[in-house]
Amino acid sequence: MKQPVMEWRREMDCWLLRVESPLPAPQVRACVDFLKKVQGGRRLGLMPGDQRDDLDASVRALEEGRVQQWAAGPNMNGKGEIAAFRSERGTGKTTIDLGA
């Protein structure tokens, strides 16, 4: 599996994990473990200061499990939510998607 994109959202105090369909907990944990290693390497190159403090806050969020899956694929509505059922008004089209 290719590593999904994860981004730190300081204002939300959590990580967003961009996925095309929801991931099971073991896969989310694998993504978190990988990112903790990456962040550890980034920390080595930072001097004390705001950037390092922000990085430390992001690592704490990973350790505490503050990760939200953000739906960002063809089955999604563009707002981070899975569109399992959608009707397009006036077109007679109805979409049912199981996200598979």
Give the number of C-alpha atoms closer than 13 A to the C-alpha of residue 75, restricted to the C-beta side.
Answer: 15
The pTM for the full model equals 0.66
Between CA 85 and CA 27 the distance in angstroms is 26
Taking all residues of the chain, what is their mean pLDDT, rounded to a whole number? 79
Confidence tier at 45 by pLDDT (50, 70, 90)? confident
Domain ranges of the chain: 6-75
**Could you report the per-residue pLDDT of 50-99, keeping only the tens digit for each?**
999 998 999 999 999 999 988 766 555 555 555 555 555 666 655 554 44
